[in-house]
Amino acid sequence: MSENPTDRCEACEVCELLKLLEATGRESRDRSMVVDARVRYRRHMREAHRREISLPL
pLDDT bracket for residue 55 (50, 70, 90): confident
The residue-averaged pLDDT of 10-37 equals 93
DSSP string, 1-57: --S-TTPPPTT-HHHHHHHHHHHHHHHTT-HHHHHHHHHHHHHHHHHHS----PPP-
Residue 3 has pLDDT above 60, yes or no: no
